[in-house]
């Protein structure tokens, strides 16, 4: 199959390249031992083979001179002897000479269009055929001269011309193995045959002596060709390595320079020029670092005032005979890292890396690791470092650690979003910056919690005054993105060295003081007290017990009956969670419910109460419903509707027998979402009751717009007797409002017969609930009560 590999036409043979360019392997690996055996032309890469063929056609002058001399010699011998065959041979020599000269000119003319190996090989074949015919004609002319004449001059002249042409073969045509072989055969055999024909002992010996001479000519030609191939291959390999080295050098991300023993530049790369701002294309070999620096000054990359310091340090490192490095920080912010590696022959290789971006990245990472990204204040880790240094410097002088918490921040985040919450935190951070002194330390520990180290200071009075300024300064109204936000602040304080001098302990107890300050009253401050730790331990113990109780199912649901005052029968039972503890006894809900909310367990606990209440209610008379309280956190969970649906479905309970109680505080949060979820719950058939009616700040329009079926008037509105006329009027007004809106009105906190009689006298009151009838009792006891059908006489007297 023809070889159509591309050959690039170039002016000089030594610049021919193969397809594959600089990625090709070294040429020495492409030719298998050209010095040891003849390489076939098919095995030679284009960049070796093409120059060899070009060499055949390149020396036109020697061809013309040699061919012209041979042609004249042939014509002279023919003229002297007058033999027709010799004339014919001489004319043929002249014609072939002319044809070969024409081919030489044609090759040179067409060479730029010869782009394939196949075309180049055709031209080699043409040259080989022409030279072989010419050699055969010369050999034939010599033999005919011996055969047809007896003229000694003609014999000597023809033999000498042919032999001379044959001897010149290795020098001219060694590039083609086939051509040399053809010429030796075409001229050598006729020469030997002519000597044998001449006869005589000495002519025969002469002929025999010529045979090894012809073989030697072949060896000489092969040796010349192999030498040429080795030289071309070595040259190409060196060039390829140089180009690859140059490519690698100029594509390095670092600047590189090699200086000799005299500290003058011998090798450089493009990146070095970019770092120093050097103009491209200028030869800088032999320059010193001071000369390079001057050009860098002219380019605006280096200040004149920086040259002496930089070059002095650079030359000192060049003089060192061990690896070394230094960092050059320039006034424009550029940072260079220079590494010096001495060479055995003297001088050094210098690698220059621009680490400006890396330094900036490291600074950014350090900033992120040690500072709060939102406010720019030190974070907990960095604050600990700063506090250790500050406390060590203060010695035994009093210092105060203040933990500041933003009251109401969680509600801002939940209702207005984190973007507004973040803006609020930045505003608070700015206020704190104005409150602290230059000697104080301020940090943000995450969320809405800030920490301050007050130093120096006089003692507790100074800390208390500062804490009060913080509370007063932060409390107030903020305008954030068009939202008016009112917040406060609570502060916990720990003293050093009075409480402890250990940084971690100070932070811990200041946080503890903050916790108890928030428990007592928000918008206040508290110092750490010794019993706070024991109270915190008790809290942690309660948390552990609470989690274990929920996991083990130790909670119980108790039920308090709600009485219909019209028929004096139980219409509903309110489900209330109780925690009987083996050691603590019956833990009050007011003690463990807030803890469950803080721990994030209230949703799980509320779901369990809901399922248990539905399951228990399914075993009661069909006329009795169950009421279950939903906490704000539980209601806001995304799957509350599905939770209620699963509870009534799993208990096989009519949804109309389930009543969920919500508080007015829920109606203050995200009214659209609240309304949507209440409507979904109502669509299930479940009734909705508004608990503690009148104690919150809800708009009464909710009674009309929301799907509420019942209002429960809080016990705080129930008068002790009808003697309290104002309280009776207020109660009556609230009951009438609910009744006129078509709602069931339930009054809580009925504890005396007088209160019961007063409620029964109010036509708008539908139901009553209180300890007069029954406290919350376990499921088995409420079942007994309901099975009796009516309450005992003393409960309704």
Q: Is the pLDDT of residue 171 over 80?
A: no
Mean pLDDT of 160-164: 85
Name the residue among 361, 313, 359 with its Cα closest to residue 340.
313
User: Measuring CA to CA, how many Å separate 245 from each of 177, 236, 253?
Assistant: 35, 14, 14
C-alpha to C-alpha distance for 267 and 671, rounded to whole angstroms? 76
Name the residue among 52, 53, 47 with its Cα closest to residue 21.
47
Listed ranges 318-327, 435-444, 517-526; the one with the highest mean pLDDT: 435-444
Mean pLDDT of 499-514: 92
Over residues 721-770, the pLDDT tens digits come to: 777 788 888 889 889 988 898 999 999 999 999 999 999 999 999 999 99
pLDDT value, residue 654: 95
Q: Is the pLDDT of residue 1 over 50?
A: no
pLDDT value, residue 446: 86
Query: What does the block give as tokens for 470?
Result: 């913080």
Query: What does the block give as tokens for 150?
Result: 């007896």
Name the residue among 728, 722, 715 with its Cα closest to residue 754.
722
pLDDT bracket for residue 22 (50, 70, 90): very low
Q: Say if pTM beats, i.e. exceeds, 0.85.
A: no
Q: Is 586 helix (H, G, I), strand (E, B) or coil?
A: strand
Angle between helix axes 671-683 and 640-650 (nearest 10 degrees) is: 20
Cis peptide before 256 (omega within 30 of 0): no
Q: Is the pLDDT of residue 13 over 50?
A: no
Mean pLDDT of 311-336: 86
Mean pLDDT of 621-646: 89
Q: Is 341 helix (H, G, I), strand (E, B) or coil?
A: strand
pLDDT bracket for residue 791 (50, 70, 90): low
CB atoms within 10 A of CB 623: 13
Q: Is the pLDDT of residue 19 over 60?
A: no
pLDDT bracket for residue 35 (50, 70, 90): very low
Kindly report which listed range (131-140, 389-398, 399-408, 670-679) carries the lowest average pLDDT score.
670-679
Q: Is the pLDDT of residue 131 over 90?
A: no
Which letter does DSSP use for residue 406 in this model?
Answer: E
pLDDT bracket for residue 28 (50, 70, 90): very low
pLDDT value, residue 2: 42
pLDDT value, residue 712: 92
Cβ contacts of 736 within 8 Å, gap of 6 or more: 764
Give 752-757's long-range contacts (Cβ < 8 A, gap of 24+).
752/720, 753/797, 754/720, 754/721, 754/722, 755/718, 755/719, 755/720, 755/721, 756/796
Q: Is the pLDDT of residue 36 over 60?
A: no
CB atoms within 10 A of CB 80: 15
The fraction of the chain above a pLDDT of 90, given in percent, is 31
One DSSP character per residue, 681-723 reads HHHTT-EEEEEEETSS---TTHHHHS---EEEE-GGG--SSTT
Average pLDDT of the residues of the chain: 84
């Amino acid at each position: 199959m023809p070889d159509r590999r591309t050959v690039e036409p170039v002016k000089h043979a030594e610049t021919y390249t193969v397809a594959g360019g600089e990625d090709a392997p070294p040429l020495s690996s492409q030719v298998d031992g050209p010095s040891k055996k003849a390489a076939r032309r098919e095995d030679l890469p284009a960049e070796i083979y093409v120059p060899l063929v070009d060499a055949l056609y390149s020396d036109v002058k020697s061809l013309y001179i040699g061919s012209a001399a041979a042609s004249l010699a042939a014509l002279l011998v023919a003229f002297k002897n007058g033999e027709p065959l010799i004339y014919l041979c001489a004319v043929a020599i002249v014609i072939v000479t002319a044809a070969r000269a024409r081919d030489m000119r044609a090759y040179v003319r067409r060479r730029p269009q010869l782009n394939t190996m196949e075309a180049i090989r055709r031209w080699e074949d043409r040259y080989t055929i022409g030279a072989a015919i010419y050699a055969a004609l010369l050999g034939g002319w010599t033999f005919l001269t011996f055969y047809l004449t007896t003229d000694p001059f003609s014999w000597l002249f023809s033999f000498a011309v042919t032999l001379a042409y044959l001897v010149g073969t290795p020098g001219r045509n060694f590039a083609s193995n086939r051509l040399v072989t053809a010429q030796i055969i075409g001229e050598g055999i006729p020469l030997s045959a002519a000597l044998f024909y001449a006869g005589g002992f000495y002519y025969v010996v002469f002929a025999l002596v010529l045979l090894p001479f012809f073989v030697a000519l072949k060896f000489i030609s092969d040796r010349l060709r192999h030498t040429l191939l080795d030289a071309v291959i070595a040259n190409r390999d060196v060039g390829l390595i140089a180009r690859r080295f140059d490519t690698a050098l100029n594509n390095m991300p670092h600047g590189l320079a090699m200086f000799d023993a005299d500290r003058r530049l011998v090798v450089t790369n493009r990146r070095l020029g970019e770092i120093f701002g050097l103009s491209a294309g200028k030869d800088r070999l032999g320059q010193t670092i001071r000369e390079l620096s001057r050009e860098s000054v002219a380019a605006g990359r280096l200040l004149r005032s920086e040259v002496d310091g930089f070059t002095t340090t650079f030359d000192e490192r060049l003089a060192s005979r061990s690896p070394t490095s230094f960092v050059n920080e320039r006034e424009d912010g550029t940072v260079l890292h220079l590494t010096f590696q001495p060479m055995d022959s003297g001088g050094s290789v210098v690698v220059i890396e621009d680490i400006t971006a890396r330094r900036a990245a490291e600074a950014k990472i350090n900033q992120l690791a040690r500072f709060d990204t939102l406010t720019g204040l030190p974070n907990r880790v960095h604050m600990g470092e700063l506090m250790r240094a500050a406390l060590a410097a203060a010695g035994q002088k009093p210092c105060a650690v203040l933990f500041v918490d933003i009251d109401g921040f969680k509600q801002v985040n939940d209702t207005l979003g984190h973007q507004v919450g973040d803006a609020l935190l930045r505003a608070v951070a700015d206020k704190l910056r104005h409150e602290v002194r230059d000697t104080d330390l301020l940090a943000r520990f995450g969320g809405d919690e800030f920490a301050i180290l007050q130093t120096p200071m006089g003692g507790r009075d100074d800390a208390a005054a500062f804490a009060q300024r913080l509370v007063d300064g932060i409390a107030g109204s903020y305008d954030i993105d068009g939202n008016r936000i009112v917040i406060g602040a609570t502060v916990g304080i720990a003293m050093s060295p009075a409480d402890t001098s250990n940084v971690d302990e100070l932070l811990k107890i200041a946080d503890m003081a903050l916790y108890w300050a928030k428990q007592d009253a928000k918008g206040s401050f508290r110092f750490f007290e010794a019993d706070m730790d024991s109270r915190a331990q008790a809290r942690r113990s309660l948390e552990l017990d609470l989690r274990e109780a929920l996991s083990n199912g130790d909670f119980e649901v108790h039920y308090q009956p709600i009485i219909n005052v019209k028929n004096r029968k139980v219409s509903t039972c309110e489900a209330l969670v109780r925690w009987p503890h083996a050691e603590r006894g019956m833990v009050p809900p007011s003690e463990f419910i807030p803890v469950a909310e803080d721990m994030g367990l209230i949703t799980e606990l509320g779901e369990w109460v809901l399922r248990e209440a539905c399951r228990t209610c399914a075993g009661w008379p069909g006329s009795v419903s169950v009421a279950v309280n939903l906490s704000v956190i539980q209601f806001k969970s995304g799957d509350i509707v599905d939770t209620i649906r699963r509870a009534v479905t799993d208990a096989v309970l009519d949804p109309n027998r389930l009543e969920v109680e919500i508080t007015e505080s829920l109606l203050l949060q995200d009214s659209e979402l609240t309304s949507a979820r209440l409507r979904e719950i109502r669509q299930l058939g479940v009734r909705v009751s508004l608990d503690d009616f009148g104690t919150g700040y809800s708009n009464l329009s909710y009674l009309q717009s929301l799907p509420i079926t019942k209002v429960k008037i809080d016990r705080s509105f129930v008068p002790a007797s009808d003697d309290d006329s104002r309280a009776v009027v207020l109660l009556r007004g609230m009951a009438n409002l609910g009744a006129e809106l078509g709602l069931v009105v339930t009054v809580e906190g009925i504890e005396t017969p007088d209160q019961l009689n007063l409620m029964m006298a109010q036509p708008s009151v539908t139901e009553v609930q209180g300890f007069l009838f029954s406290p919350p009792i376990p499921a088995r006891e409420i079942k007994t009560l309901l099975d009796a059908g009516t309450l005992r006489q003393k409960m309704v007297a």
